[in-house]
Structure 1
């Protein structure tokens, strides 16, 4: 059936900042979910909880498969995380990165070669396998990070601001790659972004503001519900109401 996730009333304080304030969200399997919010909304903090890098002060994160609760320790290797900060090695080529992650994931030769071929073709990086990461364009660099994360055939993919700082054309290519991936594999994808226009590229969106969930559901349904033309207007409604309290 695929892995679903949900957060139940999650609180987290980081030093003097209350980063998450009773956050509850649900993520259905086999969909591309967008966690949408401005800078400082708590997106990265929340994603690190899903990855198990942080533990809630209160509340819990639950993974399920066909309604059955999973122990995160048992599925940790099925969850891939692509951080916002650069995580590749500038002095290594695309080929060398794939070889490095192959060793890290302990992939058998046959599985690795099949997976490598498929991912390089999907990302259209095959002609550039000998190019160093430091010589890649911003879009190609992001796609390399993505296929390295996908090499282990994860069932859940967590992407933290993957299109941040990338030109519009490369952003479009990256989203096309995500949809191609979702169409071919048993995978649930969560993407954080502060680009409001990217909300419309998601199947489900989850609006995060000041550590709290505002709304979640299909993007067009939310726009209709809030009588808004875009998600900038949706957030402005909440921003204005909070400032007046």
Structure 2
């Protein structure tokens, strides 16, 4: 992708907890306007890796650069939207109060803040629940609110850890359509998933198993290179195991 700006670069990144090697020599480049997926079963190391990209964890070895800044870097927070696997919401507050709080952290001015709150709640189809306490939200609604918060400040890089788990297929498609629109404006996405049809929606995929990259390429390249009809078959070819915790859809 020579004409696109490099957004993320990892160089020989490893992570060791005690005697456990969670990540092993991960080297990747990710570009602007790209939806890049990390595909792998639970425990493969996807969440550990994205936490390092955001700066929440340090690699044991190797280096990570985001927008040419070595991570962790506080100034990079304003350029990154991060949605964790676990929802970090204030349940005693309403959805609007949560959005107001995070908007203030991002430095959004009052007039622009209100417009962005409306826009992101429309994307996740929660406009009618804006004033409801988060404690009264379902699990799927909380995921959608977390996604809205990640989108609030129009970051140039969105890092989303299994963003559509618990969200119904129709809304999931609507959310992906919103991703495609942002992609056209140059926003880069990093999405972790263990859902096969979601992996197919990415421009490129990194298949991860046991903390190691086992393949990187477009979904079509990965299927063609392994003479596979599906991404799941390609993953199994590259070194997956039949019992891996994958699913075809949510």
Normalising by structure 1, what TM-score? 0.87
| CA root-mean-square deviation | 2.1
Alpha-carbon deviations, 1:185-227, whole Å to 9, x = none? 4421100011122111111111111111121121112111111
Pick the structure with more helix per residue. Answer: 1
Is contact 2:214–2:239 with CA below 8 Å preserved after alignment?
A: no
Normalising by structure 2, what TM-score? 0.85
Is contact 1:139–1:171 with CA below 8 Å preserved after alignment?
A: no
- Structure 2 counterparts to residues 179-190 of structure 1, below 5 A: 179-183=180-184, 185-190=185-190
Which residue of structure 1 lines up, in the alignment, with residue 155 of structure 2? 154
**Structure 1 gap ranges (5+):** none
Query: Does residue 210 in structure 1 map to residue 210 in structure 2?
Result: yes
Alpha-carbon separation, structure 2, partners of 1:178 and 1:204: 15
SS for the counterpart of 1:201 is coil
Which of the numbers 11, 14, 22 marks the counterpart of 1:8? 11
Alpha-carbon separation, structure 1, partners of 2:135 and 2:220: 39
Which of the numbers 39, 42, 64 marks the counterpart of 1:39? 42
Q: How many residues align?
A: 236
Q: Relative to structure 2, which stretch is displaced further, 32-41 or 163-172?
A: 163-172
Is contact 2:196–2:232 with CA below 8 Å preserved after alignment?
A: yes
Query: Does residue 231 in structure 1 map to residue 234 in structure 2?
Result: no
Q: Relative to structure 2, which stretch is displaced further, 41-50 or 89-98?
A: 89-98
Report which structure shows greater RCO (CA 8 Å, sep ≥6). 1
- CA 1:93–1:42: 2 relative to 1, 3 Å: same
Deviation at 1:71, TM superposition (A): 4.5
Which residue of structure 1 lines up, in the alignment, with residue 246 of structure 2? none
Alpha-carbon separation, structure 1, partners of 2:167 and 2:126: 17
Q: Relative to structure 2, which stretch is displaced further, 215-224 or 167-176?
A: 167-176
Query: Does residue 102 in structure 1 map to residue 90 in structure 2?
Result: no
Which residue of structure 2 lines up, in the alignment, with residue 55 of structure 1? 58
Alpha-carbon deviations, 1:41-68, whole Å to 9, x = none? 100010011011112222111224xxxx
Alpha-carbon separation, structure 1, partners of 2:11 and 2:30: 12
Is contact 1:3–1:156 with CA below 8 Å preserved after alignment?
A: no
Deviation at 1:83, TM superposition (A): 0.7
Is contact 2:64–2:70 with CA below 8 Å preserved after alignment?
A: no
Query: Does residue 91 in structure 1 map to residue 66 in structure 2?
Result: no
Alpha-carbon separation, structure 1, partners of 2:33 and 2:233: 29
